[in-house]
Amino acid sequence: MTIQWFPGHMTSARKKAAETMALTDVVIEVCDARLPEASSNPMIRELRLHRQRPCLKLLNKSDLADPTVTQAWLDHYNSQSGVKAVAISSKKPGEAARVPGLCKLLAPHRSDGIKPLRMLIMGIPNVGKSTLMNALLKRRVAAVGDEPAVTKSQMCIDLGPTMSITDTPGLMWPKITHDSDGFMLAASHAIGRNAVIDSEVAIFLAGLLLQNYPALLAERYGIAVDGMDGVAVVEAVARKRGCIVKGRRGGELDLEKAGMVLLTDYRGGKLGRISLETPASRAAMLAAPRPAIDPTTPE
């Protein structure tokens, strides 16, 4: 299964974001700390580089990610010109409060107080942009939900006489190049459920967890994971959690329901602190030859 998701409103949202960036001093890109590069929209990088805007890259939901892997990502991003990366949990007001000060460091020309510091929050759906906005303002001004693409229009608010901040809708890009990125995004709930098959996403996630966090799977579900593949893990979860298709003889396993159990546990941090990619795994994926496309087969 190839996952693609680009709702219609995102075309106009991208155009509006490009216009706003022309009047912006610092771009705040919010990523998911569990998959920082897969959750980084390449269009955002293109737009800010075109305008030569510095970037504060926030690895949000860091409380759900593997801290060792997160540090590797921080080192990776902080070696890049014009980028400052920090790990935060936007649900913690004290961590969100650091953001304006970090932006000031990236735009020293705004320290004279003549013109306000203008910040622009960008990122893909469901990475915590609106939660960050609410935390910065210490009140609920942006809608927050468990489904991606809750925010559909821009909102600019003054943080005082010397700075303003604009929140933007979550932006995906028209074509996800790497299938694994689509699966990681779907597993982390950045893609609408209408574009995915939950059981297939769960099987992909289970395969990654078997490679990198098998002990967490075994502990959470009380299963012996040796020799299993992703399908076997989802089937084992179905048995453990009683996910059976109603009305079917023989107790047929409900893999869709079991898949949602696994996905929900991962998204909520109930499996433990997990990262789906590392700088090394990302480099290896990009270096690997891509399979040839059969010209007779539509993409």
pLDDT digits (tens, 9 = 90+) for 223-242: 999 999 999 999 999 999 99
Q: What is the pLDDT of residue 123?
A: 93
Q: Calculate the dihedral angle through the C-alpha atoms of 67, 69, 74, 76, rounding to the nearest 10 degrees.
A: 170
Running DSSP on this structure, what letter comes out for residue 124?
Answer: S
Q: What is the pLDDT of residue 10?
A: 62
Check whether 149 has a pLDDT greater than 50. Answer: no
Q: Which two tokens stand for residue 163?
A: 């700075």
Domains in the chain (CATH in brackets) are 9-167 (3.40.50.300), 197-286 (1.10.1580.10)
Task: Calculate mean pLDDT across residues 106-125.
Answer: 87
**CA angle in degrees (0–180, nearest 5) for 183-187-192:** 90
Report the chain's mean pLDDT, rounded to a whole number.
87
Q: What is the pLDDT of residue 6?
A: 57
Check whether 102 has a pLDDT greater than 70. Answer: yes
More confident residue, 122 or 290: 122
Going by pLDDT thresholds of 50, 70 and 90, the confidence category of residue 4 is: low
Question: pTM of the entire structure?
Answer: 0.87
Q: What is the pLDDT of residue 296?
A: 47
Task: Calculate mean pLDDT across residues 104-118.
Answer: 85
pLDDT digits (tens, 9 = 90+) for 273-287: 999 999 999 999 999
Q: What is the pLDDT of residue 293?
A: 46
Going by pLDDT thresholds of 50, 70 and 90, the confidence category of residue 211 is: very high
Q: How far is CA 95 from CA 47, 57, 91, in A?
A: 27, 14, 8
Check whether 250 has a pLDDT greater than 70. Answer: no
